[in-house]
Chains A and B, each alone.
Chain A
């Protein structure tokens, strides 16, 4: 039973390019969360998605960032026109249940994608 799979593990982009980060949740999980970890900081919530729906995107920057979780395939976090400040580790987590029950389960995290903008 594979865990949460994120790819690529490392991504280097030049300023102005687009970055696409992929997350395949654990089998049977239909809830996906994206977090960003800046250097020397804890993880900050970005967005919560269910299949084909964005449930909570209160942590997403208003511009250049978008996320989707299509019916088929992985969840994608897309960053357009990247800037140096976007350099961070981006973690995806998945859970099998609705968010209101999250306290009785746990979110399983992927190993993260480390984005470096040069």
Chain B
């Protein structure tokens, strides 16, 4: 069965310092992976996606993620945090075989950015 595990439920950084949100996946097939962000009382916005092209994926707002098959990881990074980055982040997998479009969400990581 496919799944994603977000290793940290809460991450706190200072403004201007790097951000690392960790995600490991489990999939029998080469998966498609996404990161979504959810600001308070808002819907989900796609940050970036990996679909078996380049392993380093650049997204919006300065975020990027690297697909590492050997580590089954898809960690999200940003060189310098901004106050507006404070939100909930979800790592998402879509299995490429036999899927019906179901997105499988991780449990989420709350990013806190301190001034």
Chain A positions within 8 Å of B, measured between CB atoms, are 3-4, 31, 33, 35, 41-45, 48, 55-56, 58-59, 91, 93, 95, 99-100, 102-104, 106-107, 109-112
B106 contacts A56, C-beta separation under 8 Å: no
A55 contacts B100, C-beta separation under 8 Å: yes
Main secondary structure of the interface of A (DSSP, over half): mixed
Chain B positions within 8 Å of A, measured between CB atoms, are 32, 34, 36, 41-46, 49, 51, 90, 94, 96, 99-108
- Report how far A99 CA is from B42 CA in the complex, Å: 25
- Report how far A11 CA is from B78 CA in the complex, Å: 36
- Report how far A56 CA is from B104 CA in the complex, Å: 14
8 A-B residue pairs with Cβ-Cβ distance under 8 Å, sorted by A, are A31-B101, A35-B105, A42-B90, A45-B104, A91-B44, A99-B99, A100-B101, A106-B46
A45 contacts B102, C-beta separation under 8 Å: yes
When distances are taken between beta carbons in the complex, the residues of chain B under 8 Å from A35 are: 103, 105
When distances are taken between beta carbons in the complex, the residues of chain B under 8 Å from A106 are: 34, 46, 49
B99 contacts A102, C-beta separation under 8 Å: yes
Closest residue to B91 on the A side, CB-wise?
Answer: A42
When distances are taken between beta carbons in the complex, the residues of chain A under 8 Å from B104 are: 45
Q: Which of B42, B99, B100, B103 contacts A43 (CB 8 A)?
A: B103
